Structure 1
Amino acid sequence: MSQSMPWLMRDIRRARKQDTAAVARRRGDRLADLVAHARSASPYYRELYRDVPERVEDPRVLPVTDKKQLMDHFDDWATDRDITLEKVRAFTDDPDMIGRRFLGRYLVATTSGTSGRRGMFVLDDRYMDVSSAVSSRILGSWLGPLGIARAVLRGGRFAQLVATEGHYVGFAGYCRLKGESAVRGKLVRAFSVHEPMSRLVAELNRYRPAFVIGYASTVMLLTAEQEAGRLRIDPVLIEPAGETMSAGDTERIAKAFGTQVRTMYSATECTYLSHGCAEGWYHVNDDWAVLEPVDADHRPTPPGEFSHTVLISNLANRVQPFLRYDLGDSVMVRPDPCPCGAASPAIRVQGRAGDILTFPSGRGEDVRLAPLAFSSLFDRMPGVELFQIEQTAPSTLRVRLVEAPGADAESVWRRAHEGLTRLLADNKLDDVTVERGEEPPQQAAGGKYRTVVPLAD
């Protein structure tokens, strides 16, 4: 089932004008259609749903899935039977293929996520079009006519702060946009979060973006540069994403840049999951997504209480359906209507906080590195199944690894040590010691692995 972008934009506008009951019916129809498609075209879902009713409009009757289960059944999960894990791995191992069409049809995105375990996902055009349409609608609602006019006067340029050394969804989507739309591609530029801060600041000063979108931890590092006067940009909107932020963080960003700040809570598995409002809540885009806060037994968590985890259903991606997918975050649904006036469910997120590591430089200023710099390094490193980096002293990092089956532990450690040493040297941190932890990565409360653990206060 394919819809054009104009159809999607009109459909999203219609949904905004409908009451919650009408949106629920629309969501139920889309869920029923996707479940039927998954059961007919995916051997994995056919077996998983063998005892599920014929028509499903309520996700709670479905079994729960997660990244490990789907990756373990990768070849049977896909509804396009040409897709195999071997083909996707070969594709993602080639950096020249970032943003290109896998099998001539799909976008491939990789992620390590908060678990540190690599995921490889195949995304179809319908998913990408829904994501673009939802994002366009949200951007318009955030800015209003006056804000849009201000953005146009400033050139309308978007700066995306992304990991540029892997098939991450932000960079892969950017590369595809550049390759397939020359006009839109001119208005968007990717900036690597791996760049030394001084170089990133200089490039942004030259580019002068109207919009800054990127990882929250990197945005916070840039906020300090703006406060110090080294960064001198005046965007109309800053959109931190991917990591949880406090109200104090967003207020600091807004003050430093003199601009509007809006956040998003999303994932590679559902990039359009929610959007932030002026009251500091995330609103679920519930005509195309389902979000279920649940306890440890996957029973619904009451509004006003933080959940053990959260299940999401992406109602757009049909090539690898994400249905009742355990995202691993703790969220709370607002028990009363949000003062912003939006009728869609409003949530707060307790998980996915970005932890920045701070190192003494000996030159009078501390050096800070965002966690993405480390996760992207290990994500593209062969032989790493799971990793964790803990700052055990101001200038000491302890690295814990779980090697992939069949990988040589000494070779994996050598690559890890060399990669980390190079990353630190690029940021003038040659005196930081990298230790090998013989113990496995340590789980936090709730069973999650923090990939980056800062020095304890």
Structure 2
Amino acid sequence: MSLADRPGIAASFVAARRNLAIADRATLIARQETLLDRLRRKTLPASPYFAEYRDRPFDDWPVIDKSVWMANFDRINTVGLRRGEALAVAERAERERDFAPTLRGITVGLSTGTSGQRGLFLVSPGERRQWAGVVLAALLRGNSFAPRKVAFLLRANSNLYRTAATGPVRLRYFDMLQPWPSLVGSLRAFRPDVLIGPAGTLALLAREGGLAPRQVVSVAETLHDDDAARIHGAFGVLPEQVYQATEGVLALPCRMGRLHLNEAYMRIETDWIDRPSRRFAPIVTDLCRHTQPVLRYRLDDIVMLDDEPCPCGTASRVVQRIEGRCDDICRFLTPDGATVPVFPDFLTRTVMASTPDLVDYQIRQTRPGALVLVLPSGATPPPTIGSALFDLAGRLGAVPPDLAFEHGLEHAAKRRRVVCVKSDQP
């Protein structure tokens, strides 16, 4: 972080402390409308793709997804950058592991691309400063000016994260692509107060020992209950979550540690997947992003709302959990040949209940009614998983799935515990 960044981050921090704490729903919606009007006046006219919608009602704006967003990269962004030149900068940073260069002052980055298509994002210096202020406002506990060391464990660094290293916050990036013993040794030497990384990596670190963070934050992948329990048991602190994607920061923890939708800075519509269970796919509009507008962008994630109010008193809706991707809703067969949906969370909880010591695994489905449990090389297949899946199928009114075991699970920078390899389900 440069000295020039500090005033902007401080202003963003102070504003975010106020905005994230809005307790009245009507006030929160009014703020969204004000920001939406600013988008209409300033951002839409600057985007060749969205310009024609500036005078249309919000509900008439198109709902897009990653494929549309990437295919129209040149016309969506407001700074005239071309996808080819931006991709070249991002890919060179990945190869050389040097993430400092920008393109005409704009930070360029790549997402991990679990959907099969990597996301390419653009962030201006002002947007970086605002991001840093908002995230720090949500995560810093107690005395905000107390010195603390923050370890960021991610596949790729970014100017975005460097911006958060402000004042008393000493932030260090740890490259997850380095050898595991080297990563663990470097972390022990750094002795972080705050440990931020993917849930699976945090759970593996919990088994290593030698670390004593005062705060643990899960990012980049689903935090499952078994991982949360291991992290809590090892470090003595409950892990918090930040729900962030290429498209922005979608949810942040409150002072009670519960996850709230970031409705002070985003409008989040609910595309219901299963309304009775409050599961939906988010359609997000980032109300503050100008360089690369995110407008009515449908994510492929499965988010489950909590119907219990949060004692923190803020008006933003509470997230019970993030379960995975819509593409990874598996299918079991019924006795008459129909299919029933099996949410990823159903399967991970079944494994956790039947085999609580199993940490590294992946469930894959290549056809309805059949599952493959992939384990690390040399691991013994758990004997109880078959009967647990039998019970799950019975509760869903389905036939027990065919179950096979494979070995050779590889460590990835971003883990998915449930994967539908191909989408041939009806």
Same fold (TM over 0.5): yes
Could you tell me how far 1:393 is from its partner in structure 2? 5.2
The reply to whether residue 133 of structure 1 matches residue 133 of structure 2 is yes
Could you tell me how far 1:122 is from its partner in structure 2? 0.9
For residues 12-411 of structure 1, the aligned pairs below 5 Å read: 12-15=16-19, 16-17=21-22, 19-47=24-52, 49=53, 52-53=56-57, 59-81=58-80, 83-95=81-93, 96=96, 98-140=98-140, 143-145=141-143, 152=147, 156-164=148-156, 171-173=157-159, 176-177=162-163, 187-225=170-208, 231-270=209-248, 272-277=249-254, 281-295=258-272, 302=275, 304-307=277-280, 309-348=281-320, 349-352=322-325, 356-357=360-361, 358-361=375-378, 394-396=406-408
The SS at the match of 1:158 is strand
Code of the residue aligned with 2:178 in structure 1: it is E
Contact map agreement 1:160 1:188 (CA 8 A) in 2 = yes
- Residue of structure 2 equivalent to 1:167: none
The SS at the match of 1:347 is strand
Partners of 2:287 and 2:101 lie apart in 1 by 22
Distance change in 2, residues 1:189/1:8 (3 Å)? closer
- Equivalent of 1:8, from 6, 12, 18? 12
Deviations 1:52-76 (A, max 9, x none): 23xxxxx544220111101111111
Could you tell me how far 1:188 is from its partner in structure 2? 1.5
Partners of 2:277 and 2:173 lie apart in 1 by 38
RMSD: 3.5
The SS at the match of 2:70 is helix
Could you tell me how far 1:219 is from its partner in structure 2? 0.6
Could you tell me how far 1:18 is from its partner in structure 2? 5.3
Deviations 1:274-308 (A, max 9, x none): 12357774201211112222137xxxx7585212x
Partners of 2:421 and 2:122 lie apart in 1 by 28
- Write 1 or 2 for the structure with the bigger share of strand: 2
Contact map agreement 1:42 1:79 (CA 8 A) in 2 = yes
Distance change in 2, residues 1:6/1:304 (3 Å)? same
Distance change in 2, residues 1:342/1:252 (3 Å)? farther
Could you tell me how far 1:327 is from its partner in structure 2? 1.2
Distance change in 2, residues 1:51/1:75 (3 Å)? same
Contact map agreement 2:284 2:295 (CA 8 A) in 1 = yes
Q: How many correspondences in the alignment?
A: 345
Contact map agreement 1:282 1:346 (CA 8 A) in 2 = yes
Code of the residue aligned with 1:133 in structure 2: it is G
Partners of 2:238 and 2:319 lie apart in 1 by 20
Partners of 2:160 and 2:37 lie apart in 1 by 32
Could you tell me how far 1:196 is from its partner in structure 2? 3.1
Contact map agreement 1:262 1:278 (CA 8 A) in 2 = no
Could you tell me how far 1:347 is from its partner in structure 2? 1.6
Partners of 2:408 and 2:236 lie apart in 1 by 37
The SS at the match of 2:115 is coil
Distance change in 2, residues 1:244/1:278 (3 Å)? farther
Contact map agreement 2:100 2:159 (CA 8 A) in 1 = no
Gaps of 5+ in 1: 54-58, 165-170, 226-230, 365-391, 398-419, 425-439, 447-457
Could you tell me how far 1:336 is from its partner in structure 2? 4.2
Distance change in 2, residues 1:186/1:284 (3 Å)? closer
Partners of 1:174 and 1:11 lie apart in 2 by 19
Contact map agreement 1:162 1:192 (CA 8 A) in 2 = yes
Code of the residue aligned with 1:217 in structure 2: it is G
Code of the residue aligned with 1:305 in structure 2: it is R
Distance change in 2, residues 1:292/1:98 (3 Å)? farther
Distance change in 2, residues 1:303/1:321 (3 Å)? farther
- Residue of structure 1 equivalent to 2:422: 442
The SS at the match of 2:301 is coil
Code of the residue aligned with 1:118 in structure 2: it is R
Partners of 1:144 and 1:176 lie apart in 2 by 22
Deviations 1:170-199 (A, max 9, x none): x11367549xx7x76981211122233322
Could you tell me how far 1:161 is from its partner in structure 2? 0.6
Could you tell me how far 1:214 is from its partner in structure 2? 0.6
Partners of 1:176 and 1:290 lie apart in 2 by 27
TM-score by length of 1: 0.66
Partners of 2:125 and 2:112 lie apart in 1 by 23
Could you tell me how far 1:443 is from its partner in structure 2? 2.7
Distance change in 2, residues 1:250/1:176 (3 Å)? closer
TM-score by length of 2: 0.71
The SS at the match of 1:294 is strand
Could you tell me how far 1:238 is from its partner in structure 2? 0.6
Partners of 2:307 and 2:173 lie apart in 1 by 39
Partners of 1:343 and 1:273 lie apart in 2 by 15
The SS at the match of 1:4 is helix
Code of the residue aligned with 1:25 in structure 2: it is A
Partners of 1:281 and 1:93 lie apart in 2 by 36
Partners of 2:285 and 2:303 lie apart in 1 by 15
Deviations 1:84-111 (A, max 9, x none): 1121122123225843353332111111
Gaps of 5+ in 2: 326-343, 349-358, 362-374, 381-403, 413-419
